[in-house]
Structure 1
């Protein structure tokens, strides 16, 4: 399975100033638009977690691409709480015992602080990656921030840059208290975790990538390397006895010291021979209760002398309807656990952040229950509506349907892990033929080296996958992400059996490449168009003109980028728009008006012959989501994104064909969606990328 769902594109994407037409809208006193979550829970990596120090049911989790989520009912329901975050990649969390509403989250952009229980966040400026690099980073950060349990002013940070920092003013200023220089020009090895003893806060321990555990006994003034394996992932002091320490060391297992780190013993009884370990945790109420997570979940009730495995998870198939790990089975395993945390008011209650499904236990880890409803990190790639039903596709998860306007969802495919169909799904097309929804979606399977189409002719009751007529290899020449993906899909509005598929990748010697493929049987078989645009590097840009089915538009990126047009069904192509070299998406209205999105929004009212810019959108972003109201041609919605984990983006609406724009980003937790779809049946605009949301219009 892919572990990273976002791939950077080389563009300048940091400008944030709003044009005057937007500033005027933003200055009004009208309440901010309110979005409603309408997706499911899960869909990615729950990376970090921490309990509130005093409120029994309150837990925080850090999402790999979605920011921070919070629950107040022991994980039964969650809400994304990103107000003020500058970055959505949240890889480490810490809470302040002395000031229980103070929370810290380490993101790829730096350390953020909240003093109101995650209702709002503030970036601590000096911690940014370009400055001190007190960041949370994928595959480096395990538990990288620690607050002194006896003094909330004091913080420690173990950084990916191989340094330990200390702050004595709640993170406003920092000083380096430990670093290990690398030989020559080699980059310093990362530090993964840091912990402070509650019994004796002068004791601080950090887990490093090449020096094992390092210990300070004087609150960070001096440090010494301990006699442990050299690659450490985490360490912990027993709550009531600071001489008792535990460490986790990836493939080198679990170790314990009873003399403040002077000597160490490897704990092996009951530990699987090939297990690797990421984090160790000791119950704050009973030093004998110890937990270790990594490739498995282990529980010890005798201080580490013996261990037993406990990783069976009772799945919540309503809250998270996806089926890859468990199919229709009511139980699965906890997969790739990342952090484990205790409820301080009831240490028998634990929570594990992990891949796909988060886990809660109320009995000390004997049984585990999936709990992440509302903690949505699904990467939605398309949304479609048909007679009261909503359909979506998502990276990693597949194709799903809701028959109650987004309250609940049901997986259409895949229904279990299948090498041919499990993976990233892109666009979806839904058309009603003879009263039945015909569904077509395109996929990039994880573990099969061929792109394919999955389709259903009976409303999703059954499905078939096909590669008929598609490339027998994965194109790599002139692709957006290093290899071709079938990200674009367009149906002929005048004949729903005719479907076009866009797969990026130029032809090479002896290989036909990607480009545009045509199906005349609803997606069952495909044929590559004999002639192709001069660039086949694309994102979502493919559309058929409803006023003339032979007129097709293709959005290309980089060299020969822009909009390409055919007026003879693909026999010949011409480049008709070159004002921008990256065109991310194309949308054609029923009247034949064409919109394309680059760094700005562009419109053509003469079938692509001439183009004009539609207003002046905020600079330094990419227009990816484009939608129009089928009942009112003057109403247009667009979304802007940036191609990294930053929170720079927005959603905008015009009701006068672009003369003025309204910022309707409002309180949506993820401000830069890539998919916008309007449902005229409910007068709702739906938004998708990280998470699925909707708003009345």
Structure 2
């Protein structure tokens, strides 16, 4: 008994050292991907395109941690020097960031002021002030009653000695008057606030600076500004420069040395190394950049160069180097610096144009973090050279378009950063690339030709691109200048986001909207106007934008223009248009006559922007519209539908948040009455044609939604966000079909989309993939109650003859559950090996359950219909059918499926041979471990005088030598002990290589060389199996007799291994049960 106990414990200890799975399978045989959270949005990118950054900050002396606040994508943090970034402010009420600040005395104390202060035409509304005490892990909204509806915020200043004392500059509403403007101060960490500087309800605080080392002296810049849908009024009598000497409790307006008259935007800053030296940008008719040597009490003009501040309303920022009061970095269209206090300028290193924020490490002034319209840049040589940190997905998309093909491509137009086209998944046939330059807005695939894209980069600058050969042709409908002629004198007006639509059946039939609708039937070579003016054509609002100090003429404020065009999918002659001034028109005869219908909408406020129109894919008389009035300082959603071509309308806004504008609505082409609305903060869906709404979360962040597109064939949902790029929800059938009745049913297996065998294609840059066709068949099932426990849910997949292909294990969560089948049979039985014996070998060895086949990890199934049977313990099983299809991107030979069946038969035989090999390795390893343990235990007992096992020890040693000799012929971990790099014996390397080669056979039968190789390998394997079975039948039997005779523990050995008989019958017949 004592010996048995010792030996058993010893043997178990050896076997419990850990096991390494050794399934020996080809790389393309993918394992199932089971998500604990089914149906989550994926970020498609392209992150490398970049987006607008409004605030950047780092930690002095720490080159690893950075924060970036963005115009529409929230706050991001890097903990590895800018290589990777994490969204840390993505579920708060807004994603528009004005300022990010860290307490100098404790960088874990982080403040975020929302509402970008660079109020260009696409600026998003802010909602509050936020604080984190744990470096951005959690957030608390500070005094929401005061700040939540304050609008835009520009600056946060924190007392370097007392983090409880904080000042905040509130610019206020960008699009109208409000009285929550000015400079606010707290002395108790944000519990209570006092407004200490206020001018009027249309003048807010744009700049705030503290004298270094002296929190009693502060400077503030106040800005009189408002935006309208048709223009910017920048500057007025409310603007001014203010100074405080009592910690911001009281303020005095400073004018000494400044130009007389009205001011526009103001920028302020002190020199850290010379605290009495301050600088100011003051937009005025005369002068621009000023210097003070008495801490802001008086000023001297330095320069009026436009290079300092090319567009004052958009820039007006600079930073003084911490170690040199004469070295100043100017953030304008181009990033520049001066070493003589602003008198002369030099270009800094190359960064994206339009610069907004810059932080310099005071402990190392060579380290600079910079934010602009293209993203975040990092310099280690004081700005002479910069590195673009291109892994932050903060693209500001206007729209998204998908090509009409299974492995579809995407195009999107990005503010500031071109129009891009690229892949929806790794199976796409293209990489991300620029389709059109400038500020990309529309980039639309021709539905009937996936190689043709029509793109536009503001104000009608359209082009036709063949993404197959890269050829781009200008197709501008009408040449015009947006900066040298008054809008009211223009013959045709084109808005900043000029809409483009393409006929669903003719790639050369394209429409572009100005103030009229243009149509081309030859791909844009020539154009015809097919409408009258489809806007209000209010000359009083067709003005030069900019304000009383200087005009800002970029075309961004061109007004009375079309924003949306919608072609009816069911009637080629029905076209709807929507304008930026609220006009909605429709034609049912291809543009011969038009009817204005917006006046039929009851209680619709005037002058809203008809951002998007969606004609029902089921009925040309049914139309959905969103009217966006945030530029009228009205953030309510206005969503309507009509079923009679606009004669009558019904509001369907009830149930949507009433403080967020709605920008887009679409109807699902696969489910009548299933609607999705995009607002300034998120997504909502309705299953009942807009009667009720539910927020669509699924991992979707707070972000403005500018466009939504359904992909009919794949049931995918694409979302163009203005701050987080393209987000996509793969296969929304569960959303479409999970009605209240389905949710209440004990088990419902939902319809399964066809899975295409998409192998090949290019990998695209700019990443964030893992979406789209070819990712496997997604199996969704809904449970009304949770079913937990091992093997509670199984998913059996069988072929058309009822033969089992693989069995997957599913989750038993209440609600929606998901399992992915990659289209594979079971993989080989995995080997059980101690971890010290190596675990990968020959480049790959995915883990499986030791001693069992790995589900969905073997040969790929042939095209055809398969049955998916979901069984939940205690409930009747349910089934659905899924089809596997050939790759539709290119033609296949007529005998492709027959060839695939031949390959499958051979692959399944090879898999079974691999299983036999792994079972043999498991048996050898087990016997070796037991023999080693027994020898050690018996030797210990002999030495202690408790036993006499010399003969058994000798027999064990002899038997172990035979086992090791055979094992080394198959698997030799002694070559390299490291588990990740241990390589196999020559035989097993050949075996795995041949198995992998079979997986790469596509459209053809296995080559004669493959067949010959497998016959040779099978013969060699049979020889090894003969040796192994001989050990079991002879040596193991003899050893166990001797051990039993001497009262030693016997070996636990398995049965002899035989290969399955080869068969020439069809796969299904051969495997029929």
| TM-score, length basis structure 1 | 0.70
1:411 shift after superposition:
0.4
Taking the aligned partners of 2:306 and 2:404, their CA distance within structure 1 comes to: 52
Q: Structure 2 residue aligned with 1:455, among 451, 464, 478?
A: 464
Native 8 Å contact 1:588 1:595 kept in 2? yes
Aligned to 2:131: 114
1:169 equivalenced with 2:188 (yes/no) = yes
Aligned to 1:543: 566
Q: Structure 2 residue aligned with 1:403, among 423, 438, 456?
A: 423
Native 8 Å contact 1:531 1:570 kept in 2? no
Q: Structure 2 residue aligned with 1:596, among 624, 632, 648?
A: 624
> Which deviates more, 39-48 or 390-399?
39-48
Aligned to 1:587: 614
1:676 shift after superposition:
0.6
In the TM superposition, what are the counterparts of 1:116-515 in structure 2 within 5 Å? 116-119=134-137, 120=139, 122-125=141-144, 127-128=146-147, 135-136=152-153, 141=154, 144-160=155-171, 164-177=183-196, 190=205, 192-195=207-210, 197=212, 199-206=213-220, 214=243, 216=245, 218-220=246-248, 229-230=257-258, 233-236=267-270, 238=272, 243=275, 245-249=277-281, 253=289, 255=291, 257=293, 275=308, 278-283=317-322, 286=323, 290-295=327-332, 296-298=335-337, 309=346, 311-313=348-350, 333=351, 335-343=353-361, 347-387=365-405, 388-403=408-423, 405=425, 409-414=432-437, 422-423=438-439, 425-426=441-442, 428-433=444-449, 437-445=451-459, 451-457=460-466, 459=468, 461-468=470-477, 484=495, 487-503=498-514, 505=515, 514=516
1:94 equivalenced with 2:105 (yes/no) = no
> Which deviates more, 88-97 or 398-407?
398-407
1:163 shift after superposition:
5.2
Q: Deviations over 1:454-482 (max 9, x none)?
A: 11346461111124578999996799x99
SS across alignment from 1:312 = coil
Taking the aligned partners of 2:586 and 2:671, their CA distance within structure 1 comes to: 23
Cα distance change of structure 1 residues 529 and 186 upon mapping to structure 2, 3 Å threshold: closer
The structure with the greater share of residues assigned to strand is 1
In the TM superposition, what are the counterparts of 1:35-46 in structure 2 within 5 Å? 35-36=42-43, 38-40=45-47, 45-46=52-53
> Which deviates more, 581-590 or 357-366?
581-590
1:341 shift after superposition:
1.2
Taking the aligned partners of 1:112 and 1:186, their CA distance within structure 2 comes to: 20
Aligned to 1:571: 592
Taking the aligned partners of 2:254 and 2:586, their CA distance within structure 1 comes to: 63
Taking the aligned partners of 1:576 and 1:157, their CA distance within structure 2 comes to: 46
1:264 shift after superposition:
8.7
In the TM superposition, what are the counterparts of 1:42-81 in structure 2 within 5 Å? 45-52=52-59, 56-81=63-88
Q: Which has the larger radius of gyration?
A: 2
1:688 equivalenced with 2:723 (yes/no) = no
Aligned to 1:448: none
Native 8 Å contact 2:601 2:650 kept in 1? no
Native 8 Å contact 1:600 1:613 kept in 2? yes
Native 8 Å contact 2:196 2:249 kept in 1? yes
1:254 shift after superposition:
6.7
Q: Deviations over 1:55-110 (max 9, x none)?
A: 64222233334443333333334444444544444333321133423322333446
1:293 shift after superposition:
2.1
Aligned to 2:666: 627
User: What 5-or-longer segments of structure 1 have no aligned partner?
Assistant: 1-28, 314-332, 415-421, 446-450, 506-513, 642-646
Cα distance change of structure 1 residues 254 and 526 upon mapping to structure 2, 3 Å threshold: same
1:362 shift after superposition:
2.0
1:337 shift after superposition:
3.2
Taking the aligned partners of 1:208 and 1:533, their CA distance within structure 2 comes to: 40
Native 8 Å contact 1:36 1:695 kept in 2? no
Taking the aligned partners of 2:611 and 2:343, their CA distance within structure 1 comes to: 56
> Which deviates more, 530-539 or 63-72?
530-539
Native 8 Å contact 2:44 2:424 kept in 1? no
1:372 shift after superposition:
4.7
Taking the aligned partners of 1:226 and 1:553, their CA distance within structure 2 comes to: 55
Cα distance change of structure 1 residues 482 and 689 upon mapping to structure 2, 3 Å threshold: farther
Q: Deviations over 1:353-407 (max 9, x none)?
A: 2343532112333422222532514232332334432112234444321135399
1:45 shift after superposition:
3.8
1:229 shift after superposition:
4.6
Taking the aligned partners of 1:41 and 1:102, their CA distance within structure 2 comes to: 30
Native 8 Å contact 2:458 2:498 kept in 1? no
Native 8 Å contact 1:281 1:341 kept in 2? no
> Which deviates more, 104-113 or 29-38?
29-38
1:169 shift after superposition:
1.4
1:501 shift after superposition:
2.7
Cα distance change of structure 1 residues 363 and 685 upon mapping to structure 2, 3 Å threshold: same
Q: What's the RMSD between the two structures over aligned residues?
A: 4.7
Q: Deviations over 1:158-177 (max 9, x none)?
A: 45589543210122322345
Native 8 Å contact 1:215 1:224 kept in 2? yes
User: What 5-or-longer segments of structure 2 have no aligned partner?
Assistant: 1-35, 116-125, 173-180, 224-238, 260-265, 310-315, 538-559, 627-637, 733-1073
Taking the aligned partners of 1:497 and 1:438, their CA distance within structure 2 comes to: 9
1:147 shift after superposition:
0.6
Taking the aligned partners of 2:342 and 2:619, their CA distance within structure 1 comes to: 73
1:49 shift after superposition:
1.9
1:53 shift after superposition:
6.0
SS across alignment from 1:102 = strand
Cα distance change of structure 1 residues 426 and 395 upon mapping to structure 2, 3 Å threshold: farther
| TM-score, length basis structure 2 | 0.48
1:234 shift after superposition:
2.0
Native 8 Å contact 2:277 2:295 kept in 1? yes
Taking the aligned partners of 2:591 and 2:301, their CA distance within structure 1 comes to: 67
> Which deviates more, 76-85 or 88-97?
76-85
1:152 shift after superposition:
0.9
Taking the aligned partners of 1:263 and 1:468, their CA distance within structure 2 comes to: 54
1:410 shift after superposition:
0.8
Taking the aligned partners of 1:478 and 1:651, their CA distance within structure 2 comes to: 40
Taking the aligned partners of 1:163 and 1:656, their CA distance within structure 2 comes to: 46
- Between the two proteins, the alignment pairs up a number of residues equal to 592
The structure with the greater share of residues assigned to helix is 2
Native 8 Å contact 2:268 2:280 kept in 1? yes
